[in-house]
Amino acid sequence: MSDVAEQVGTRLAGIDVTIIIMYMGGVFLLGTFFGKYVKNAGDFFIAGKALPFWAIGMSIVVSDIGAMDFVAVSGGAFSDGISVANFDWMGSMPAMVFAAFVFIPYFWRAGVYSIPEFLGRRYNTGVRVIHGTIWAIFLFVMLSLMLWVTGDKLFGTILGWNPHTVVWLMVFISGVYTVAGGLSAVVMVDVVQLVFMFVGGIALLALSMWEVGGPAGLREQMDELNPRAIIEIQAEEQIPFEDVQANLENAGFRVEYIKEAALPHEIVTNKFLIRFESLGIPNEHELQSHEVRRQTRQALTSSLGELADGVENVAIVELLTYTDHLKVLLPHDTDKPYPWTGIVFGLGIVLAIAYMSGNQAVVQRTLGARSEWDAKGGMLFGGLLKSFVPLMVAVPGLCALILAPDLPNAERAVPYMIATLLPPGLRGLMFVAFFAALMSSVDSNLNSSTTIWTNDLYGRMYHLITGKNLGERHGLIMGRIFTLIFIVLAGALAEFIGRREGLYVFIQTALSIFQGPTLAILLLGIIWRRTTQWGGLAGLVLGVIFTTILNSVDGLFPSDNPFLFVAWWSFVFSLIVTIIVSLLTPPEPDEKIRGLVWGHVMKDAEMQHVLHDRVSE
């Protein structure tokens, strides 16, 4: 049991346990209740097109927040500052407005079940299968990752619970109601979960700010924080703290103190957290420069390389100063993952729009809207709610810098805050918020990945073998089978996939590989009728290859994690490739693109009648 778990485990009050049990039971009953309304594939995958705007908006937000944000975004704020909040401020709200008025009404009128289905109609089966495979794998990986993050880093840290027990409990609860009720159950459970998440999140925010003395107190105390580093030394023997400090000071570093930094589950004998009085740099803010940071790391490594006989390697796990922690936009040459150029171009123009317009887990809710107005209104309402999210998840991570500055792992920031700040009752409510965050993310990714696997992968294979399309009953049966298989498999692989640090950067890097190419072919496919199937296929395939190369070449960009720049240039590259190949290949016949290009869908009265019949089928 971790130190935090030891502090909290014996203080879990009866009211906390009662709240948790009542919540889990209530969610289970609510979710399975909607199973009686599911009669065919349309009911299962798009809720029979009966969802109101307020349920859509709340479901989009709660499925997008997830337990990942409580852990990863707060950890990002702890290590990199408030700039991580741009993923909700600049990365969500403007993109959701854009999606509401451009993509969402188009998708709703087109009457599709999934984004790959649209791309298959607009281009060809190859594009549909490749895009569907990429998203299906990503959503499944996210499913396992979310299960392990909540089981290990939240409940394992706070209560010392066995993470495997938590994982399989969530597999059972969310799996049963998602199999039974499909999208209807997912959305209505999400509505309830959003309320709990906001109440718990706001309570944690208020208590965190109270403890640090408000915004002014937070800024004043952060200015007093000295730089810190976490250093791991591979050696044949245990190295005394005193020897590490002596070598650093001989090299010009002034050490304030040094502590053991290994986490309870890590078998590491020489991992140190070091707080410096000075790094020997004339102006500490110069550490934000990529070159100065490289030289400082090299100096640290050199000073410890001859520490003792048998030293095999010295790894600088973390090197932090806090001069830019309260800046919303960081300089272009910052070594952190969020420079303003990447935020504006890579995030604001590419990743955000691609995520809110091309992410099956988001768009699927609007496809189930009862009207076009509800589809657009749900996205806009979700954008309004999203504006409050950074305050709940990022600010407590900043406060943890003051209240627990020596946490060895940034992603333990919010769990620690819950363990030490929240009183009985509120602590149980916060556990409920985490359960809500987990289950909303799990059920959303589960339902969306199942939709893609059933309709875009299995359905295409079934059509190639038999020459027939999936029937409504057949689609419903296979959807439930895939749902059951995926949730069990995700639980089995949760620990294998989830044991990695830097979760938020990992997720965004993975998204940057295919979000740029996806947005390029999606946008061109809608607004430019001259786009051809071969142009779309080339833009997607070559774009993914291009982004993989960019991610694997060091030194191309100023940041150590350049996913924002990669996303921007992959989008530009895929646009160019798609346009060139389209101009070099014969145009698509009007019969094929009729109803799949913006002008046809939004302005053609005859086509509107055809699409209305298609949606009503």
Q: How many other C-beta atoms lie within 10 A of the C-beta of residue 396?
A: 29
Choose the most confident range, by mean pLDDT, from 107-111, 428-432, 491-495, 603-607: 491-495
Across 353-362, 410-419, 479-488, least confident range: 410-419
> Which tens digits make up the pLDDT trace of 276-285?
877 765 555 5
Averaged pLDDT for residues 278-295: 63
> Which tens digits make up the pLDDT trace of 411-426?
778 777 877 787 777 7
Is the CB of residue 425 less than 8 Å from the CB of residue 11? no
Beta bridge partners, 51, equal 369
Return the DSSP state at 589. P
Shortest CA distance to 435 belongs to which of 4, 31, 6, 11?
Answer: 31
Averaged pLDDT for residues 186-196: 79
Domain CATH number, residue 279: 3.30.70.260
The pLDDT value recorded for residue 600 is 58
Using the 3D structure, point to which of 436, 465, 498 is the last residue of a domain: 498
Q: How far apart are CA 177 and CA 30, in angstroms?
A: 8
| Same-domain status, 207 and 247 | no
Grade residue 606 by pLDDT with cuts at 50, 70 and 90. Answer: low
In a domain, 444, yes or no: yes
The pLDDT value recorded for residue 609 is 55
Choose the most confident range, by mean pLDDT, from 197-206, 276-285, 591-600: 197-206
| Same-domain status, 84 and 57 | yes
- Is the pLDDT at 537 greater than 90, yes or no? yes
| Same-domain status, 195 and 296 | no
The pLDDT value recorded for residue 105 is 78
> Which tens digits make up the pLDDT trace of 430-473?
777 767 666 777 777 777 778 887 878 887 888 778 877 777 78
Higher pLDDT, 612 or 519: 519
| Same-domain status, 148 and 238 | no
Report DSSP letters for 29-54, one per residue: HHHHHGGGG--SHHHHHHGGG-B-HH
| Same-domain status, 376 and 468 | yes
| Same-domain status, 232 and 367 | no
| Same-domain status, 56 and 177 | yes
Higher pLDDT, 209 or 555: 209
Shortest CA distance to 538 belongs to which of 566, 522, 517, 523?
Answer: 517
Averaged pLDDT for residues 593-597: 73
- Is the pLDDT at 297 greater than 90, yes or no? no
> Which tens digits make up the pLDDT trace of 41-71?
766 777 667 888 898 888 888 777 765 667 7
Quick one: tokens of 449? 């990945």
Averaged pLDDT for residues 142-160: 71
What interhelical angle do 426-451 and 472-498 show, nearest 10? Answer: 130
In a domain, 308, yes or no: yes
In a domain, 574, yes or no: no
Domain CATH number, residue 140: 1.20.1730.10
In a domain, 590, yes or no: no
Domain that holds residue 164: 3-212+340-498
Higher pLDDT, 69 or 77: 77
In a domain, 70, yes or no: yes
> Which tens digits make up the pLDDT trace of 15-34?
777 877 787 777 777 767 77
- Is the pLDDT at 588 greater than 90, yes or no? no
Is the CB of residue 375 less than 8 Å from the CB of residue 364? no
The pLDDT value recorded for residue 161 is 72
In a domain, 509, yes or no: no
The pLDDT value recorded for residue 580 is 95
Higher pLDDT, 605 or 470: 470
Is the CB of residue 292 less than 8 Å from the CB of residue 334? no
| Same-domain status, 423 and 362 | yes
What interhelical angle do 103-110 and 605-616 show, nearest 10? Answer: 60
| Same-domain status, 276 and 361 | no
Question: Quick check: helix, strand or coil at residue 583?
Answer: helix
Using the 3D structure, point to which of 259, 291, 320 is the last residue of a domain: 320
Q: Which residue has the tokens 């049963």?
A: 176
CA angle at 229 for the pair 223 and 230, rounded to the nearest 5°: 140
Grade residue 614 by pLDDT with cuts at 50, 70 and 90. Answer: very low
- Is the pLDDT at 7 greater than 80, yes or no? no
Cα dihedral 581/584/588/593 (nearest 10): 40
Grade residue 577 by pLDDT with cuts at 50, 70 and 90. Answer: very high
Q: How far apart are CA 114 and CA 132, in angstroms?
A: 9
Beta bridge partners, 231, equal 272, 316
- Is the pLDDT at 560 greater than 80, yes or no? no
| Same-domain status, 33 and 166 | yes
Number of domains in the chain: 2
Q: What is the pTM of this model?
A: 0.73
The pLDDT value recorded for residue 337 is 65
The pLDDT value recorded for residue 8 is 39
Averaged pLDDT for residues 569-596: 88
Using the 3D structure, point to which of 467, 482, 498 is the last residue of a domain: 498
For the chain, the average pLDDT equals 76
Q: What is the CA radius of gyration of the chain?
A: 25
- Is the pLDDT at 241 greater than 80, yes or no? no
| Same-domain status, 47 and 136 | yes
In a domain, 366, yes or no: yes
Report DSSP letters for 308-374, one per residue: STT--EEEEEEEE--TTTT-SSB-TTBSSS-BHHIIIIIIIIIIHHHHHHH-HHHHHHHHTBSSHHH
In a domain, 35, yes or no: yes
Higher pLDDT, 331 or 352: 352
Higher pLDDT, 280 or 250: 250
The pLDDT value recorded for residue 535 is 92
| Same-domain status, 299 and 358 | no
